[in-house]
Amino acid sequence: MSNKSVKSCLDISNSIVKGEIDLSSFYDEFYEEMDKLTSRNYIITQAPKNKTQERIKELEEEAKKDKDILKKKPLLGIPVTIKDCITTKGIRTTAGSKILDEYIPVFDATVVEKIQEAGGIIVGKTSMDEFGFGTFSTNCAYGIPKNPFDIERSCGGSSGGSCGFAGKISLPHIAVAESTGGSISCPSSFCGVFGITPTYGRVSRWGMIDYASSFDKIGTVGTNLEDALLLLNVISGIDKRDSTTVESEKIVLDKEKQKNISIAIPKEYIDAIENKDVLNQFNNAKESLKKQGVKIEEVSLKTTKYAVSCYYIIAMAEASTNLAKYCGLRYGMQEDPKNLHFDKYFSQIRTKYFGTETKRRSIIGTYIRMAGFRDKYYLKAMQVRTLIIKDFKRIFEKYDAILSPTMPIIAPKFSEIEKLSPKQIYSLDILTVGPNLAGFPTISVPFGKAENMPVGMQLIGNHLCEEKIANIASLIKD
């Protein structure tokens, strides 16, 4: 079997068991293509090729001895990229920031451990907005990833490298991404790939470099739904090192579960769509589902107008707390203090190695948490967060899922992004921050194009209802 005839990640695993693929040759070609994409800035750090070859030999030997190996190692031989905010033993992990430029972890994150135990092969660390702060991956200290369809446009953020690489490389691979307020959904939509953001707590965050601890969720990206679900099933489950994790059942696509479906469409989400072509594609997706017997009704999600401000108040407050440790003492880049007072030394380090957006969020977040402002902003936002959750829950009492476009626009050009203010950029997250505030699972499904660029459709489900929205997602086809 030739490498080009391998169409999905499952093909790789099955071909290894049958002895139909030369895995070393496959990875030689994979790394060769990865090298050709260097100018697109998808990968910050490649995994060592010699380590990959050692891993290949180990897996091939295991496959020869055990014909039922896929039951133990469902990711057998599959290449996986990891977003650079997730620690990988022996492979540099920067979170897209120069302050962690020299950080090489001595341990793997839980998700990385699970991937390796399942037979997956880590091939590289993908680029991202610094600490996840951004909508377009333009805040990455290691180069801005370029959209796989148009190099003058953004991949989206903050998991831009994950989605851009998945959308461009021709050989099968799955990506581990991470979301705080839409960081998987947004780039998935812009790059034309499937992006799954699970329920908060379904996947362990142990070993992840935090942005906002009560929002962060590790998810998956693939060029097809089955590959993305395969990886999610592997990395899900309880982890004793992360007290927020919950037990979750394996997600299965089943035609019987694709019947008698009812979907809600919030009027406020439709009103937020800025691009008419995106709205047209949404209407096409809606009609396609109706023809398949899906019941669709318009509803009101009145708390939508508060979601963006609520999200950024809480997220920035948590971010400033998580950033405090990067001061050049125990964490982050270090320099000769030159008898400086520790305040001046810390400020010097953070000024030099933090990017503009990181400084902005650190300052605003610290302000929000200050005495006199905490009650006025942070605690009020937490109360609003509860109301947003209740508003979603009310809809899920009657409907299986919520449907909307993933983003109100297509991937913008970098020249257009430069003209946007921070407030305008933040407001583009209006369709993704609500479910992230509430910890709900979402799936971004590619559907059609607008101005020759991909458009994504977003499905939002109730807590731990990934299987339900995955089965609905399988019905959304061009």
Report the percent of the chain where pLDDT is more than 70.
99
Contact assessment for residue 263 and residue 295, using Cβ atoms and an 8 Å cutoff: yes
138 with 272, same domain: the answer is yes
Average pLDDT over residues 368-379: 92
User: How many CA atoms lie less than 13 Å away from 12 in the CB half-sphere?
Assistant: 30
8 with 119, same domain: the answer is yes
Residue of 305, 297, 191, 179 whose CA lies nearest to 232: 179
Residue 393 is assigned to a structural domain of this protein: no
361 with 415, same domain: the answer is no
Residue 450 is assigned to a structural domain of this protein: yes
In Å, what is the CA distance from 151 to each residue of 27, 127, 189, 391, 414? 26, 15, 16, 39, 9
Q: Which pLDDT band holds residue 371 (cuts at 50, 70, 90)?
A: confident
> Which pLDDT score is estimated for 3?
66
Contact assessment for residue 194 and residue 222, using Cβ atoms and an 8 Å cutoff: yes
State yes or no: is 276 an active-site residue.
Answer: no
Residues 399-444 pLDDT 10s: 999 999 999 999 999 999 999 999 999 999 999 999 999 999 999 9
Dist. CA 264–CA 395, nearest whole Å:
7
Residues 195-223 pLDDT 10s: 999 999 999 999 999 999 999 999 999 99
Average pLDDT over residues 93-108: 98
Mean pLDDT of the chain: 96
Where does a domain end: 318, 343, 376?
A: 376
Distance of CA 427 to the CA centre of its chain: 19
**Side-by-side strand order, sheet with 217-222:** 43-46, 121-126, 79-83, 174-179, 217-222, 194-197, 442-450, 453-460, 401-405, 262-266, 295-299
Residue of 223, 468, 428 whose CA lies nearest to 311: 428
Residue 57 is assigned to a structural domain of this protein: yes
145 with 163, same domain: the answer is yes
Enumerate residues 6+ apart whose C-beta is below 8 A from 101.
94, 141, 333, 353
Residue among 73, 83, 146, 468 flagged as catalytic: 83
Residues 125-142 pLDDT 10s: 999 999 999 999 999 999
Q: Which pLDDT band holds residue 380 (cuts at 50, 70, 90)?
A: very high
Average pLDDT over residues 83-106: 98
> Which pLDDT score is estimated for 77?
97
271 with 330, same domain: the answer is no
Sign of CA dihedral 421, 425, 430, 433: negative
Query: Residue 5 pLDDT > 80, yes or no?
Result: no
In Å, what is the CA distance from 290 to each residue of 235, 282, 400, 477? 34, 12, 14, 12
Query: Residue 1 pLDDT > 60, yes or no?
Result: no
350 with 473, same domain: the answer is no
Enumerate residues 6+ apart whose C-beta is below 8 A from 37.
43, 165, 168, 169
170 with 261, same domain: the answer is yes
Residue 381 is assigned to a structural domain of this protein: no
49 with 179, same domain: the answer is yes
Enumerate residues 6+ apart whose C-beta is below 8 A from 343.
none
Q: Which pLDDT band holds residue 2 (cuts at 50, 70, 90)?
A: low
Residue 294 is assigned to a structural domain of this protein: yes
Residues 389-408 pLDDT 10s: 999 999 999 999 999 999 99
Query: Residue 326 pLDDT > 70, yes or no?
Result: yes
Residue 388 is assigned to a structural domain of this protein: no
Domain count, the chain: 2
Residue among 13, 162, 183, 204 flagged as catalytic: 183
Contact assessment for residue 189 and residue 444, using Cβ atoms and an 8 Å cutoff: yes
Structural domain span for residue 455: 1-303+400-478
Average pLDDT over residues 78-102: 98
137 with 268, same domain: the answer is yes
4-8, 240-244, 309-313, 386-390: segment of lowest average pLDDT:
4-8
Residue 206 sits in a domain of what CATH number? 3.90.1300.10
171 with 223, same domain: the answer is yes
Both tokens of residue 265?
Answer: 């469409």
State yes or no: is 83 an active-site residue.
Answer: yes
> Which pLDDT score is estimated for 297?
98
Contact assessment for residue 148 and residue 168, using Cβ atoms and an 8 Å cutoff: yes
316 with 416, same domain: the answer is no
35-39, 82-86, 368-372, 453-457: segment of lowest average pLDDT:
368-372
Residue among 127, 158, 320, 362 flagged as catalytic: 158
Return the C-alpha torsion angle 439, 441, 446, 447, nearest 10.
-100
Enumerate residues 6+ apart whose C-beta is below 8 A from 239.
110, 204, 206, 245
Residues 257-301 pLDDT 10s: 999 999 999 999 999 999 999 999 999 999 999 999 999 999 999
> Which pLDDT score is estimated for 478?
81
Enumerate residues 6+ apart whose C-beta is below 8 A from 44.
84, 92, 94, 96, 124, 125, 126, 127, 140, 142, 161
Distance of CA 139 to the CA centre of its chain: 16
Residue 118 is assigned to a structural domain of this protein: yes
367 with 422, same domain: the answer is no
State yes or no: is 325 an active-site residue.
Answer: no
